[in-house]
Each structure stands twice: as structure tokens, then as C-alpha cells.
Chain A
Amino acid sequence: MIEKIKNAITGKKLSGWQIRETRETSHQLFLAKEERECVRSVETQLFRVTLYQRRKSAGARNDVLGIASFQIGAAELPALEKRIDEAIFSASLVNNQLFELPSQPESLPVVERMDPSLSVKTLDECEERIKKAVSNEKQIRLSAAEFFMDRVQTRLVNHHGLDVEQEGTVLETEFILLAESGSRENEYINRYKRRFLSDFDLEGEVKQSAQFAREATVATLPKTGPFPVLLSGEPLDHLFNPLVARASARLKYNRMVETELGSSVASPGEIKGDSIHVWHNALLKGGLGSYRFDGFGTPGARVRLIENNIVRAFLAEKRYADYLNVPVTGEEGNIEVGPGSIPFNHLLDPERLGGGADGDVLYHLQAFSAFEPNVMTGAFSAEIRAGFEISRKGVRPIKGGSVTGVLQEAIKDCRLSKERVQRERVLVPQGIFFKSLTLAGE
């Protein structure tokens, strides 16, 4: 079909084009409690066609670029000519700054993102595994579980002769456990994706989720005020997004951030703790953001973006690299954050770190209803779903209330654990300790 699209484009008044074919097969299993509610399979094949038209524009000093794209499936093939003509007309209306598509790269990196062992039987095995794992947990029952096993093949071609292919697998689950204690019942939702079955660790995830669910039945609200906080687990998935945003060529070009190379990602003032190092890493084995090539065909790479809190490079896909005249890094892959020097367990000790405003209380927060800092301002506010209050008196589980802060301010006094964990799209320290964040609870 790519050949048919190429033939249909040939002879049209265009300065460039790109076609991306995506073939996806998905097998899905849905359990309501322990019963199979639904078994699904999905097969799709789609082609995204992007057309470029360089032309003069009235009032513009330089040539401008018209861009338009459309997606088409095999069933719509009779409408191909019409869709191309409509896209060319759309491209003729819009004015963008010029940029060039890449040509065939000399080589593409080897990136491990495909597990050939996955099959339809994998879902049956997952069903058995989760039922067995839940049966091993006291006070716990399975509310629901969903499993998705996706295989995605991508081929990208453009008018410069670029022709590249890659394949990936994703195994995904969302399961909900219910814990009952006396009259209190609480749930814990766990959702995660992995590329390889060997990384899926359903038993380990059930065990930890069951613990969170049980603890929630006796958890109380945290105190209110500024406290030292250790974040681990789920909140680390998006914690560093505002820092990466400061190194984004797309946001820089669109004037949504005002960063210059050499500027700090921290608010002005003394840095008392660890400094932050951030890489864009598209080569991480099993990373969901790993790729051999990105949406333009740029080979995957690992590039340092932030060193000691200072922006050293912009994260720039081909288009924005051309616009800002900076090196091409490829589109955002996985985010890697450098380790600190303190063992994770030491970060849990409030005395070793001098305590906080309250003198001897530390909050270890592991799950929120949604923890997504505002990438523009760095401000974050999130409702606490699982955590602990740690003090000399002991440890008590907490749930409810919220934590708030501004990341650029908080990183001026933070500690990073020396151990790192790989999650879906990040490789980050296992724990990040902030000297002072605001909690609202009791």
C-alpha cells in the first residue's frame, strides 16, 4: 500500500512527503472479580501521510512551508486521491517556517523493544498468575484486572529515500485490589506497562499493591504544614517533566519557556543538596520511550540535557532543531536522571537528615491519585493515596490530604538515592528527598 500512496503522490506539486505505516495487533482480557467478562482481539493497519509544500507567501520575506497530513486505512483506499488533494489544499493555506526531513541514516541503533515470546497464551498465563498471587494475600480480593498485549510494527519512508522499520511489544495491565478490615474497605489501583514478559513481575506488583490496600484501611490523614518528603514509586514517572520542559526545543521555539543554554533549571538561590543531571535516552533496554528511529526517522540516541541543574542541550526533534539551529537529538524518549550518593534506606531516616520543620517527622509518599506537575510553572498539587509518616515514635500509614510545591524551588534542597529504578519511560533514583514540601491533612 505504501507503493500505491507513493505513486499517487508522484507528480503532485509538493516539496516533500513522509508516509508512516503502523500495523498493530492487540489481544485483550478483562476480568470482573475473577470472572472473564470479555476477551478481545484488535487488528489495525493505518498509514499517516504528511505532505510538504514550499512556496512563496505574500508578505513573507522567506519561503514558507505548508504542511498537512492525513491518516488512511486499507478500507478507504478508493478515497486516496481525494484525501491527497484535500491535504495539498490544506497545506497551501498554512504558513510555517522551513525545515528539512532527514535522509536515510547511515545506521540505526540496536534497541531492545520487542519480546518475541509474547503470544495469545500469555494472557491466559497472566490470568492464572494474578489469581494465584492474590490468593496468597491476606484480607485481599481481586476487584478487576485488564491485560493488553500489543505488537506494533512501524515503517517510515520519505521523499529523500529514507526507509526504516521497527517493531515493538507492550504488555500492559491495570488491576484493582480491595482490602477489607472491619468496616473499612479500600482499593488500590495498579497500572503499568512493560515491553518484556521477563520485566512484568505481576507477583511483585500484586504483593506491593496488596500492602498499600491493607495499609489504607488503617491509614489516617497526614499533618498540615511544611515537612521533609521522600517520593518513590509512581510519582517519579512525571516528577521531572517541568525540568525536561525547560530543555524542550519545541517549547522554546513556541516561547512557552524562556530557557537559554547555560541557564539553571532551579529557582535562584543556594543549592544545598544534590544537583540534577538529566538525559534523553531512547536506547534504554525495555524502555517504553525507546526507539530505533523517531517520527521523522532520526536515529535513537542518549543525550545529556541538564548537568548540575544547568541546561546543556535542547531536546530537539528534526523540525525544532532546524528552527533553533541546534543539534538534532530526536523526539523525547525515556528520561534518565543521574543517581545521588545516599542509599535509599538512609533517606528514610529523619534523624540522619536533620528532620524538618516539625523536627522529627518525615513523610514517605508512594502513590497519588494523579501526580503531574505543571510543565510550564513546575507547580504540583496531588491527593495522597499511599504513604507513611515516619518519626521517632514509629511509622504510621497515611492516606488523603495533599502535597504541594514548586519543583524548581524544591530541587534547591533535595537528595537523590544512589540506587536507580527503571519505570515505564524513566530511569530515575529510587527515592527523591525534598527538605520541605507543604502537606495539607489534619
Chain B
Amino acid sequence: MSDPILSELKTKLPDLIRRLEQIVPTACALYKKSSGTTIRVNRLQESVEPQDPAQGLVVTLWNGQSFFEYAFNRWEWPALEADLINRAKTAAASVDKTRPCSEIDPGPPLAKDFFTKVVQPPSAVSLNDRLAEARKRLNTALAIDPQVVNALSLLEDVTQEDLYVNRNKILFQTLTRVEIIMVVFVSDGSKVTQVHQGTCKNGGLEAVRFSDDEIRAMVADGKKLNAAERLSPGLFDVVTDPEWSGIIAHECFGHGMETDLYVRGRAKSQEFIGKSVASSIVNMFDDPSAVTEAGGFFFDDEGQLASPTHIIKNGILQRGLTDLASAHKLKLERSANGRREGFDRKAYARMTNTFFGNGASSKEEIIASVKDGLYLRHATNGMEDPQAWGIQVEGLWAEEIKNGKLTGTVYSPVIMTGFVPDLLSSITMVGNDCFISGLGMCGKGHKEWIKNTTGGPHLKMTARLA
């Protein structure tokens, strides 16, 4: 912990919390800091930029009925302490004496520092060498085909440091994450299509690789997409690749398992706990303790230690994902899903690494089983509808399958819509090749962007496409 601000806070925050808890029943504090470098090169522009420092402190006060938070990025002691004590008095005075108050469990005592395993720290490789690596990938893409009018090569590292303090806990974690993204822009003279791909993991530079073959495949896909026609709408037998499977897990189902929606009465899944929501070969997880994945961590932004949640077990819905407020309100067991976009944003119940579990079939077996259908790849985005369980997943690639073989005929773009339980119940084969993509960012609605990952194996199902 070389940061002098962190050292100071680690010393001062426990005493501050103790003083605040003389005024309100519960207080806690979270200091968040992220730093790192983004290297971005395209044919015409280059930048090597430090990440914007999301550095600041948020102090949370619970008056027995509601939370009060104060977030800031500049402080002078002891003026800050005096200010927070005044805010605690305001929070305490806001109690509605006609309503009951409750206590929040601060959890068992624990003081611990956690670190991700980093073999090759980004800072150990010179900026010049990292820039050269990004340029090399760019030049590879540009040289593949004259139809590649531009490309973007990005290499990024982020180190996040979190200090959480409440009456019983002093937790500190350092998470290092690295990311490679490639985007190719392919023109046929009248239309420019972009294809993106990449890899993102927690760890050092050793954790991410991106091969020339992958870049060549992106360019080939871009050329096919420029010639692709629109699909005639209909109901199809489809095979989803792991990326597309992951978006179904995350968008169509995962959001509806966030229990802050239960408090608000807007998640259909609440009625289905313990009931069948998918075919019996379907399993789904959220696992922040998979700490090498980009959505992983050791404790969440509310000091809850990470552990896996089995959301769907053999087709049966098990439990939701909690933040502190909803777990307290609904008297649910906590899971480590209380996450913030930054110190300046509220914590909500959020997913982490969310994915379908493996099944028994290979990708080849799944495709061979389809007489007449489509293979879906290059998912781009999805949108949740936790109350009505509607589906929207958009993507670039629907390739025709005839008699168990890919024909090379591609339709683009493509949108999948429908009703979640219908879709999940229609899954008849689950692949054995679960892959987790770390490229995604997730919003709560259209804001509160955080890093998480999605994934799964190949899945065979029936879906409405257009």
C-alpha cells in the first residue's frame, strides 16, 4: 500500500466510523482508486493515456430506516470529520419515529489484504514496448486485405484499489486487469462494416493473447458481413456461440435476478424461485470469486466476501443476487453483488462473472444435429426486461445450417426476441466448451456502467429472429 492517501485512510477511517456510529446505528466507508494506461492506435491516430483516476471516498450512514451517502474526492482532516459528523446528525434526525428501525449486520470481524496474481505487471514492460505491440497488431490487420480501410488496436491495463472499513472489517484489495481489443473496418466501396473482438482478464500481461489468425478471421467475417442480406423473420432452430450464450445469460436472465428489483416488485423471477425456468440440462452461475475473470474480485463494494451463486440448477431457479440494501430489506442471505460504477455512484445489486455451465455436447455435435437452422455469432448487445421477461439480443452474424453443416450463407444484422422461459426451456443441447468473454460493460438500465463478464458454452435452442 504505497499510496499515502490509502495509508492515511486505513489509519483514520476506523476511528471515523466509530465516531459516526455514536450518532447513527451503522456507518461504513469505501475508498476507491483506479489507475492504468490505455494505448490506442489506428491508421491515423495514436494515443497513450493514463486512465482517468476514479479516486475518492464514499461514506455510508444508515439511520435505521434509510441510507445517506456523501461522496467526494478532496478532503482535509479534521474539517472532513466535522462535516461528516454533521451529516450523521442530519441522518439521525431524519428518522420517522412512527416507523420501526432496524440494525444492519456488519458481518464477522476480518482484517485482510487481497491481491490478484500478476506474473507480468504491465508496468514492468516499457510503454514503448506496449505501444509497439499495439502497432504490430494494427499493421497486421491493415496488411491483410485492401478492403481493411482502418483498424483500431487497443491495449489497456487498470489497477483498482479498494479499501472498505466498517465496525468489524478492514478489507483492502488490489485488482489488476488487462485488455486487448481489435476492431477492423472493412469496406466494399459502398458500405463499411466493423467487427470487434478481444480479450480481457484479471492478471498481468501474461493473461491476454490475441493471435494473427484471430485478426485474419475478423477481416474475413467483415468481408462476408458487407455482402450479407437481411434475414426473413421467423422462428428458427439456432445454435448460439459462447459469446451469444453469455449475452442471453446476462441480459435476458441475469438482470432479473438482481434482488434490488425484488424490493421494487419488478422482477418476474421472484415468483419462480424453486420452480422450473429452463430445460433440465441448463445451469447458470454468477461467480465473483472467479478472480482471474474480469468481473471477479475478493470483496464487493459493500464489504461482502466473494463467493459463487448457482442461479439455475438443472433448470430450477435457486436464488437471486443481492446488494446490502435489498438483502437487508428482504432478509436474504448476502451474495457479493453490491457494486458501484465509482465512488461517486450508488451501490446496486449487480452481476459479476455470469455464465451458463457446461453440458455434454461438442460444438460439432450440436451443429451436426441441426437440419435447418442458423448459427449465431458476433453478438453485440442485449437489453433486459426483468418484469415481462422479454428478450432482445442483437448481433451481426446468422449463418445458415443445412443438414448439419454450415453453408457459408450469412445474414446480418440479426435480432433475437421472445419470452425468456420459452427460450430457456427450448434448449435441447448444451456444449462442453464454456468460454467467458471479458469485453462487456454492463449498465443498470442506461447508466451505472461497470465491468463484468458473460459466457457459456454453445447452446441449441429455438428462437424468433429477424
Residues facing B in A426-440 (CB within 8 A) are 438-440
Closest partner residue, chain A, to B226 (CB atom): A377
Would you call B208 an interface residue if the criterion is a C-beta within 8 Å of the partner chain's C-beta atoms? no
Taking a contact as CB atoms closer than 8 A, the residue among A39, A72, A74 that contacts B67 in the complex is: A39
Give Cα distance in the complex from A361 to B260, angstroms.
41
Which of B199-207, B309-317, B411-419, B451-459 lies at the binding interface?
Answer: B411-419
Residue of B nearest to A378 (CB): B191
Q: Pick from A43, A86, A93, A401: contact of B131, CB below 8 A.
A: A93
Q: Are B414 and A381 in contact (CB under 8 A)?
A: yes
Give Cα A354–Cα B163 distance, bound, in whole angstroms.
Answer: 65
**B68-76, B294-302, B370-378: which one contacts chain A?**
B68-76
- Please name all residues of chain A whose beta carbon is closer than 8 Å to the beta carbon of B263 when the two chains form the complex: 32-33, 37
Contact (Cβ within 8 A) B43 A255 = yes
Take A254-B42, A381-B466, A382-B415 as given contacts and tell me if A40 and B50 are in contact as well, using a CB distance cutoff of 8 Å: no
In the complex, the answer to whether A256 meets B150 with C-beta atoms within 8 Å is yes
Q: Does A15 contact B (CB under 8 A)?
A: no
B19 interface hit (Cβ, 8 Å): no
| Nearest-Cβ distance from residue A124 to partner chain B, whole angstroms | 11
Kindly state the separation between the CA atoms of A137 and B448 in the bound complex, as whole angstroms: 30
Chain B 424-447 interface mask (CB, 8 Å, partner A; 1/0): 000000000000000000000111
A254 touches B46 (CB 8 A): no
* Interface status of A321 (Cβ within 8 A of chain B): no
Q: Which listed segment binds A: B239-247, B282-290, B331-339, B390-398?
A: B390-398
Do B46 and A96 have beta carbons less than 8 Å apart? yes
Contacts of A257 in B (CB 8 A): 192
A45-B56 Cα distance, complex, nearest whole Å: 11
In whole angstroms, what is the CA distance A357 to B388 when docked? 31
Classify chain B: how many residues form its interface, as a range.
Answer: 35 or more
B325 touches A38 (CB 8 A): yes
A76 touches B66 (CB 8 A): no
**Across-interface contacts of A381 in B (CB, < 8 A):** 394, 413-415, 466
Q: Report if B305 contacts A (CB, 8 A).
A: no
A97, B233: Cβ atoms closer than 8 Å: no
Contact A438 B387 (CB under 8 A): no
Is A391 among interface residues, defined by CB-CB distance under 8 A? Answer: no
B430 to chain A, nearest CB (A): 25
- Which residues of B sit under 8 angstroms from A420, Cβ to Cβ? none
A44 contacts B56, CB within 8 Å?
yes
What 0/1 readout, one digit per residue, does chain B (66-108) give for beta carbons within 8 Å of chain A? 1111111111000000000000000000000000000000000
The answer to whether B131 touches A94 (Cβ under 8 A) is yes
Q: DSSP majority for the A interface?
A: strand
CA distance A257 to B191 in the complex (A): 8
Q: Which of B142-185 contact A (CB under 8 A)?
A: 149-150, 185
Collect the chain B residues with CB atoms within 8 Å of residue A30's CB.
346
Query: Considering only CB atoms, which chain B residue lies closest to A90 in the complex?
Result: B48
Interface residues of B in 378-409 (CB under 8 A from A): 381, 383-385, 387-388, 390-392, 394
List of A residues within 8 angstroms of B390 by Cβ? 369, 383, 385, 399-400
Residues from chain A with a CB closer than 8 A to the CB of B414 are 381
How far is A70 from B69 in the complex, measured between Cα atoms in Å? Answer: 28
Q: How far is the CB of B244 from chain A (nearest CB, A)?
A: 14
* Chain B residue at minimum C-beta to C-beta distance from A406: B230
Cα A91 to Cα B39 with chains together (Å): 11
A186-B413 contact, Cβ under 8 Å, with A75-B5, A402-B466: no
Contact flag A255-B149 (CB < 8 Å), given A44-B344, A72-B53, A96-B45: yes
Residues of B334-372 at the interface with A, using a CB-CB cut-off of 8 Å, are 344, 346
Residues of chain A from 39 to 72 with CB closer than 8 A to chain B in the complex: 39-46, 67-72
With A258-B187, A440-B233 known as contacts, the answer to whether A383 contacts B194 (CB < 8 A) is no
Task: Determine whether B279 belongs to the interface, using a CB cutoff of 8 Å to chain A.
Answer: no
Instruction: Name the interface residues of A75-95: CB closer than 8 Å to any CB of B.
Output: 75-76, 78, 83, 86-87, 89-91, 93-95
Task: Give chain B nearest CB distance to A211 CB in angstroms.
Answer: 17
Q: What's the tally of chain A residues with a CB closer than 8 Å to chain B?
A: 77
Indicate if B128 sits at the interface (CB-CB under 8 A): yes
For residue B109, CB closer than 8 A to chain A, the reply is no
Q: With a CB–CB cut-off of 8 A, which chain A residues contact B189?
A: 258
A254–B43 CA distance with the chains assembled, in angstroms: 8
| Residue B55 interfacial (CB < 8 Å) | yes
A97 proximity list for chain B (CB < 8 A): 44-45
Q: Are A382 and B392 neighbours in the complex by a CB distance under 8 Å?
A: yes
A136 at the interface (CB under 8 A from B): no
Say whether B15 faces chain A, with CB atoms less than 8 Å apart. no
A186–chain B nearest beta-carbon distance, Å: 6
CB pair A75–B75 under 8 Å, yes or no, is yes
B127 within 8 Å of A (CB atoms)? yes
Once bound together, how far apart are the Cα atoms of A96 and B42, in whole Å? 10
- CA A97 – CA B387 in complex, angstroms? 51
In the assembled complex, how far is the CB of residue B345 from the closest CB belonging to chain A, in whole angstroms?
8
Residues of A within 8 A of B127 (CB): 89-90, 93
Asked whether any CB of chain A lies closer than 8 Å to the CB of B10, the reply is no
A241 at the interface (CB under 8 A from B): no
- With A and B bound together, what is the CA distance between A206 and B49 in angstroms? 44
Given contacts A76-B55, A143-B266, A377-B191, contact A94 B417 (CB under 8 A): no
- In the assembled complex, the CB of A220 is this many whole angstroms from the nearest CB of chain B, namely 13
Are B264 and A32 touching (Cβ within 8 A)?
A: yes
Closest residue of A by beta carbon distance from B48: A90
- Enumerate chain B residues within 8 angstroms of A78, measured Cβ to Cβ: 4
A144 within 8 A of B: yes
Tell me whether A94 and B48 are in contact (CB under 8 A): yes
CB distance from B220 to the nearest CB of A (A): 18
Q: Report 27 cross-chain contacts, Cβ distance below 8 Å, ordered by A residue.
A: A37-B66, A39-B68, A40-B71, A42-B71, A43-B74, A45-B73, A68-B48, A73-B53, A73-B56, A78-B4, A89-B127, A90-B49, A90-B50, A90-B127, A93-B48, A94-B48, A95-B46, A97-B45, A189-B445, A254-B44, A256-B150, A256-B185, A256-B192, A369-B384, A382-B392, A383-B415, A438-B230
Give 6 new A-B contacts, CB below 8 A, not counting A40-B68, A73-B55, A90-B49.
A33-B265, A37-B67, A83-B50, A91-B48, A191-B446, A385-B385
3 interchain residue pairs of minimum CB distance:
A440-B233, A440-B466, A381-B415
> Which residue numbers of B lie inside 8 Å of A, CB to CB?
4-5, 37, 41-50, 52-53, 55-56, 65-75, 127-128, 131, 149-150, 185, 187, 189-194, 230, 233-234, 260, 263-266, 325, 329, 344, 346, 381, 383-385, 387-388, 390-392, 394, 412-415, 417, 445-447, 464-466
Interface residues of A (CB under 8 A from B): 26, 28, 30, 32-33, 35-46, 67-76, 78, 83, 86-87, 89-91, 93-97, 141, 143-144, 174, 176, 178, 185-187, 189, 191, 216, 224-225, 253-258, 369-370, 374, 376-377, 379, 381-383, 385, 399-402, 404, 438-440
